[in-house]
Structure 1
Amino acid sequence: MEIKDTRRKRELLKLLQRLGIEDVSKINWSLLDLALTHPSISLTHNYEQLEFVGDAVVRLASAELLLETYPELPVGEFAAIRSILVSDRFLAEIALEYGFDLYLLMTPNIKNDKGGRMSRLADTFEAVLGALYQSTKNMDLVRFWLDPILREKAAQVHADPARENYKDALQEWTQGKYKLLPTYKVIQNPNLDNQDERFIAEVWLQDKLLGKGKGATKKASQQAAAQNAFNLVIANP
């Protein structure tokens, strides 16, 4: 289906070109426009339903790629790697790299909400996948450009003994070695100019400081501190 706004269609075409989609004959432009419309614009005409579909699309694409790339892995390993491939953090990174936020229609107050940006980007990315899938009812407009991105990330995670969950990995190590759990101390970063470093975390084992980290959320700062500790005391003791 077409959209009447030719300027908007040109914008959407630029995004498709960024993704490497050259044949746009099968694109449902109305769905793609909807996928890039935030609920703040309209409570009924927005990306939420397509996001729901896109969530399933990225899970299926990730599962198929992992099975094709690592056929020897047990199901538990598939699940661990896929959980990262479909995480909001990673999907937001992809969306940010391709400039999805440049094409997302939203009200000014939402656009200025820096704290919700990553979640918003992840939702938008899933919605666009949903629109592409719904355009053809198959993966023809998705996997050829998404697979290389997922494959590169899967290789990184597969080679990472902590599977990018450094809090769990550190906790498993401290329990096994000392029968103790690490504790975290989190404070707000006085340097509020950088939203990606809003919080500073320290991870301690009793009275010993194991590592420090910064992040946009308390959880992210704790993961960063755990990663710092993991690299210092486990990976390179």
Structure 2
Amino acid sequence: MNISKKRKEKLLTLSSCLGVDFNDIALLDTALTHTSYANEAKNSIIHNERLEFLGDAVLELASSSYLFNKYPEMPEGEMTKARASVVCETTLARLSAKLEVGQYLLLGKGERLSGGSTRPSILADAFESIIGAIYLDQGWDTAYKYILDKLHDDFIAVEKGYNLKDYKTILQEIVQSENKHIEYELISEIGPAHARQFRFAAIVDGAVEGLGDGNSKKEAEQHAALETLKKYKRI
């Protein structure tokens, strides 16, 4: 695969942010190539759907293995629920956004202009594709450690039982126990109508304690609550 010098430099920058030194940087390039881009290309280009399929399987095995070994008394049904709460579109899209994966994605013109680089479904799929690329390039052990590192906070939430509650409820209970007041304030609203992105602030007694983004107001508020819980070292 021919990768331009400029593109390679961008991929190496992302590789550094990921903390993975790829042997074959072309795998990362493929992981970031959306079907819309491949469909519009004049030459035959491999898109990321196969890597996404592989990454999804690796994520499921890694999270299943962790839960199985970490909680030997946890019933199968609870493990399934816990895994679903951790490995979900919201979580994967948030991790992608944190790594600014969107700016490295190769998207078709229409997809790019309609806000595809910030669309949660695309970001989540890209994260799975990156996992697939790491697995192929570095092997199981590296992929497993990488997944556990990125999902650490979410697995802690499972350990504390937070996965069974929403973050706003948890934070509300903590704030009320300290006789404080919490409210959520819309900070920004960007993007086209079908791909809106919201940012909310969690404000406790007049002070901004956490910011959260999401493709709905509810999701953004949840993320703001999560960031506040992290700040308070409750998760």
TM-score interval w.r.t. the shorter chain?
A: 0.5 to 0.7
Aligned Cα root-mean-square deviation (Å) = 3.2
Larger radius of gyration: 1
Task: Give, in angstroms, the shift of residue 161 of structure 1.
Answer: 5.5
Label 1:106 to 1:193 Cα distance change in 2 as closer, same or farther (>3 A): closer
Structure 2 residue identity aligned to 1:127: S
What SS class does the counterpart of residue 35 from structure 2 fall into?
coil
> Which of 124, 127, 130 is residue 125 of structure 1 equivalent to?
127
In 2, the alpha carbon distance for the partners of 1:159 and 1:38 equals 37
Q: Would you say 1:34 and 2:30 are equivalent positions?
A: yes
With over 3 angstroms needed to count, the CA separation of the structure-2 counterparts of 1:61 and 1:9, relative to structure 1, is same
Q: Given the two structures, how large is their TM-score scaled by the length of structure 2? A: 0.65
What's the CA shift string for 1:99-149, capped at 9, x where partnerless? 11121111343123347710010011111111121224x323322232122
Contact persistence 1:28–1:131 (CA under 8 A): no
**Alpha-carbon distance change, 68 to 15 in structure 1, aligned in 2, over 3 angstroms:** farther
Q: What corresponds to 1:86 in structure 2?
A: 87
Mapping for residues 151-190 of structure 1, pairs under 5 Å: 151-160=152-161, 163-164=164-165
- Tell me, what secondary structure is at the counterpart of 1:72? coil
Matched residue SS, 2:156: helix
Q: Name the aligned partner's letter for residue 122 of structure 1.
A: A
1:19: how far off?
Answer: 1.6
1:1-237 to 2 correspondences below 5 Å:
3-22=2-21, 24=22, 27-43=23-39, 45-114=46-115, 117-136=119-138, 138-160=139-161, 163-164=164-165, 193=190, 195-197=196-198, 216-217=215-216
Secondary structure of the structure 1 residue equivalent to 2:164: coil
Cα separation, 1, equivalents of 2:163 and 2:56: 25
- C-alpha contact (below 8 Å) 1:3/1:9 kept by paired residues: no
Give the secondary-structure state (helix, strand or coil) at the position aligned to 1:37.
coil
| Identity score, percent | 33
Q: Kindly tell me: are residues 5 and 84 of structure 1, through their superposed partners in 2, closer, same or farther at Cα, counting changes over 3 Å?
A: same
Contact 1:3 1:29 in 2 (8 A): no
Residue of structure 2 equivalent to 1:179? none
Q: 1:18 to 1:119 in 2, by over 3 A?
A: same
Letter in 2 for 1:78: M
**Paired residue type of 2:28:** L
Distance 1:9 1:216, change over 3 A: closer
| 1:95 shift after superposition | 0.6
User: For each residue in 1:5-62, what CA deviation from the matched residue of structure 2 results, as whole angstroms up to 9, or x when unmatched?
Assistant: 232222111112112224x3xx322222111111111135211111111110111111
Q: Is the 8 A contact 1:40 1:107 kept in 2?
A: yes
Match of 2:164, as an amino acid?
A: R
In structure 2, how many angstroms separate the alpha carbons of the residues matched to 1:146 and 1:162? 18
How many angstroms apart in 2 are the aligned matches of 1:4 and 1:120? 22
The runs of 5 or more residues in structure 1 that have no matched partner are 167-188, 199-214, 228-237
Q: Distance in 2 between matches of 1:34 and 1:17?
A: 17
